[in-house]
Amino acid sequence: MSKIKSNAVILLALTIILSACAQLFMKVSMIQLQLLLDSITDEQSLLFIIMDNGTVVAWLFAGLCCYALSMLSWIFALIKYELSFAYPFLGITYVLVYLGAVYWQQIGEQLTLMRTMGILLILVGVVLVNYKNNSHQEAAL
């Protein structure tokens, strides 16, 4: 595998991982915010509550940074890959977010059969969209 190709693979993987982390970090931030709002009894502005709590700000900032880095790595991955090839791989983000939301105790979403089957279908779809049938491609030429 050439250096350019391996760098593109790394950039595509980074895009997927950072995008999933962004979703998970922002979810944790909103869980923390909800806990704060539930404990506040007096009238305060939402912005003041958020800015006054380092945990909410830290998770939110981490999520936004992951999104920014994800977009940057995506842009560079698109230099090497065709969009129709690279874009379906973003479906793997759904898988990572689902697993993260289930296994990260602070988020603690439920592992269900239907969701798991849906995730498996997404993975099958990613494989099918990018499956190269060489005999079919040669016939088209």
* Domain range annotation of the chain: 3-132
Backbone angles phi, psi at 38, to 5 degrees: -65, -25
Does residue 135 register a pLDDT over 70? no
Residue 59 has pLDDT above 70, yes or no: yes
Structure tokens at 120: 């498996």
pLDDT tens by residue, 73-125 = 999 999 999 898 899 999 999 999 999 999 999 999 999 999 999 999 999 99
Predicted TM-score (pTM) of the model is: 0.83
Helix (H, G, I), strand (E, B) or coil at 116: helix
Tokens 């090497």 correspond to what residue?
80
* Per-residue pLDDT, 41: 65
Mean pLDDT of the chain: 86
Segment of 36-40, 47-51, 123-127 carrying the highest mean pLDDT: 123-127
What's the rounded Cα separation, in Å, for the pair 51 and 123?
39
